[in-house]
Chain A
Amino acid sequence: QSALTQPPSASGSPGQSVTISCTGTSSDVGGYNYVSWYQQHPGKAPKLMIYEVSKRPSGVPDRFSGSKSGNTASLTVSGLQAEDEADYYCSSYAGSNNFFYVFGTGTKVTVL
């Protein structure tokens, strides 16, 4: 199973919005509404930001939102803040044969 495809980097100025894409296939992203997004600061453990495509866990700012169209899921960060600078990974359920999950390649978000 190949990793989901994300752009290596994205950037924006404080207050702007940035959108990260996560492209898979009809066997993973396109086939199920089980896409989640994780934020990882350097040297730290990942943190859940979005689950089941667009649901936000308690405590995550509403500046973070998720969506999906076809085989591509997206994470949008609105009103960028300095603390949003981090790596972001998507994850998707990848089918019933092995009940397994696949992560994206990761995107480094830089706040200019």
Chain B
Amino acid sequence: QVQLVQSGAEVKKPGASVKVSCKASGYTFTSYGISWVRQAPGQGLEWMGWISAYNGNTNYAQKLQGRVTMTTDTSTSTAYMELRSLRSDDTAVYYCARASGWNYNWFDPWGQGTLVTVSS
């Protein structure tokens, strides 16, 4: 079955970087995109961006431009999301999701989530 498995929880200090991985299985990795979505504690969902696993093209949310980089390793069917210059308000659960349709407009399935805690 289609499955996305993410790396484990991280604790980082303000100003550091974090890199979350998302390993896909059960489908042809390069036929879809990967979107990243985060959810701060008790808050709603926030779209961060997507990457085409076919050609590596990316689109990032404007507010994260310059701090986020999304990449893929097609040899291992793994996507990565790196967020730099971490702040306390980056504390959230980070989800990857397979992105489908025109301009990758729907997300299914989702990974289990990775909690990133930013604290001094």
Give the interface of A toward B (CB within 8 A): 1, 3, 34, 36, 38, 45-48, 51-52, 57, 89, 91, 93, 98-106
Whether B105 lies near A93 (C-beta < 8 A) is yes
A/B interface sample: 17 pairs, CB < 8 A: A34-B102, A34-B106, A36-B105, A45-B95, A45-B109, A46-B37, A46-B45, A46-B107, A46-B110, A48-B108, A48-B109, A51-B100, A98-B61, A99-B103, A100-B49, A103-B44, A106-B44
Whether A45 lies near B101 (C-beta < 8 A) is no
Contacts across chains A and B counted by CB atoms under 8 Å: 71
Other A-B contacts than A34-B102, A51-B108, 19 sampled, CB-CB below 8 A, are A1-B62, A3-B44, A34-B103, A36-B105, A45-B95, A46-B45, A46-B97, A46-B110, A48-B106, A48-B107, A51-B100, A51-B101, A51-B106, A91-B47, A98-B59, A99-B103, A102-B47, A106-B44, A106-B45
Task: Name the prevailing secondary structure of the B interface residues.
Answer: strand
Q: Which residues of A have CB within 8 Å of B110? A: 45-47
Whether B44 lies near A93 (C-beta < 8 A) is no
Q: Which residues of B have CB within 8 Å of A36? A: 105-107
Whether A100 lies near B59 (C-beta < 8 A) is yes
With contact pairs A34-B101, A36-B105, A101-B47 given, residues A45 and B62 touching in the complex (Cβ less than 8 Å): no
